[in-house]
Amino acid sequence: MPDSSGSNLCLAHNCRMNAAFRFAARCNLVAVTRCARRGLIFLYSLAKGTRLINIRRTVWRLRCRDARWISRSQKMLPLQTTAQDPKNSAGSSSGWTMAGLAIALFGLPLNVGLFTALQIPWSAQNIVLRELSLFAWAGVLAYIIRRKELLGWESVGLQRNSATKTALWVLITIPCLALALFLALGLSKLLGLPLGSADAAKFDRLPIWVLMLVVIRAGFLEEFFYRGYAIDRLQRLFGNRLCAVGVPLVLFAVFHYRQGWAGIIIAFMTGAVLTSVYLYKRNLWIGITAHFLVDFIPNIMRHVL
């Protein structure tokens, strides 16, 4: 009588081997299909004149982890595309960038100037509406960056960064801001310039939560507009590093005119520190946090304490 147990074991072993081979072949087929799909997406994007940032978004959606070289090459991308796609032509992209620069450089003083020129009553409700309208400008600028320029948040320094390194650089930046503030105050005293803002007494009458909204807006929007967006776009458009750095810094200082000449000097020197840190680290969160803390301590803490 033949030994059936041995044949059964052999049959089971062959079945397991066949299943393993089928599984391996299926995995290889999936891998080959993914590689082919990514290659076709890459070639199609190049043929259509699509920017590398669009390729990066598509590949990221496919969970392609080996596409990190795109983020490195993104800094070298000019604001222009081929003439095959009229919606993303060079003229259209540059036009939207100019509109973004107008918002970044003149949106804040335009809103505040209209608020003053129309003699709108200085109440908590009106100040909140003014601050929310300023945040609306930021929303328009974000739309231009993402939908019209087709760029990522790293183009304005708002990419994800290490929280530890960001906090460390905030601790480094704040003493530098304190030193710049001390030098600006000394220069103002030497020149006999009066200190204080024309709106200081009005701000003191506002509730703390409204002051908090104003401080948050100043810390985020001023850095986003004058450092993150303006510097990068001016350099992309004109290719002049000095112009890209100097124009936003001067405008940032001049638009503090309601604080007098002393306020302009303080804004210029502290803005120079924030600009230097941003150019060195390309991390706007450092400037936003430091700017917020420098405004928070004298404007909020003195009311709390």
Give the pLDDT confidence of 217-265 residue by residue, as tens digits.
999 999 999 999 999 999 999 989 999 999 999 999 999 988 889 999 9
Smallest Cα–Cα separation from 277: which of 162, 182, 170?
A: 170
Residues of the chain with pLDDT under 50: 1-2, 4-6, 8-13, 20, 24, 32, 50-56, 58-89
Cα(100)–Cα(144) distance, rounded to whole angstroms?
A: 7
Query: Do 286 and 170 touch, CB atoms closer than 8 A?
Result: yes
- The CA–CA distances, whole Å, from 99 to 109, 115, 134, 228, 253 equal 16, 22, 16, 15, 21
pLDDT value at residue 80? 41
Q: What are phi and psi of 284, to 5 degrees?
A: -70, -20
pLDDT value at residue 22? 55
pLDDT value at residue 33? 55
Q: Give the distance, in angstroms, between the CA of residue 296 and the centroid of all CA atoms in the same chain.
A: 21
Cα(35)–Cα(26) distance, rounded to whole angstroms?
A: 14
pLDDT value at residue 41? 57
Smallest Cα–Cα separation from 184: which of 62, 277, 290, 272?
A: 272
pLDDT value at residue 66? 42
- The CA–CA distances, whole Å, from 62 to 37, 56, 58, 146, 244 equal 10, 10, 7, 20, 37
Domain boundaries, the chain: 4-76, 86-304
- Structure-token match 């450089």, residue found: 105
Radius of gyration for the alpha carbons in the chain, expressed in angstroms and rounded: 28
pLDDT value at residue 1? 47
> Longest C-alpha distance within the chain, in Å?
117
pLDDT value at residue 5? 47
Q: What are phi and psi of 178, to 5 degrees?
A: -65, -40
